[in-house]
């Protein structure tokens, strides 16, 4: 795991914990905001994995 991925996972974990805390404390706006940050980071991570798969496929095909 690279340093960049470690930082993203750390930010996502922090956003998730803060989102849960704010949802429990009935500050829904902040909870949903932090939850949306978590979802955005997850999407970014998924897109990165898909791009890596495409690059590996192109390398193996000799493209």
Report whether pLDDT(11) > 80.
no
How many domains is the chain partitioned into structurally?
1
Question: Are the C-beta atoms of residues 41 and 12 closer than 8 Å to each other?
Answer: yes
Higher pLDDT among residues 20 and 1, named by residue? 20
Is a pLDDT exceeding 60 seen at residue 59?
yes
Q: What is the mean pLDDT of the chain?
A: 77
Instruction: Please name which of 43, 41, 19 lies closest in space to residue 32, comparing C-alpha atoms.
Output: 19
**pTM score:** 0.48
- Tell me which residue range forms the domain holding 57: 3-61
């Amino acid at each position: 795991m690279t340093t960049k991925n470690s930082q993203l996972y750390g930010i996502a974990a922090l956003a998730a914990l803060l989102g849960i805390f704010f949802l429990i404390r009935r500050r829904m706006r902040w909870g949903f905001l932090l939850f949306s940050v978590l979802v955005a980071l997850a999407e970014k991570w998924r897109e990165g994995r898909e791009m890596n798969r495409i690059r590996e496929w192109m390398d193996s095909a000799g493209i």
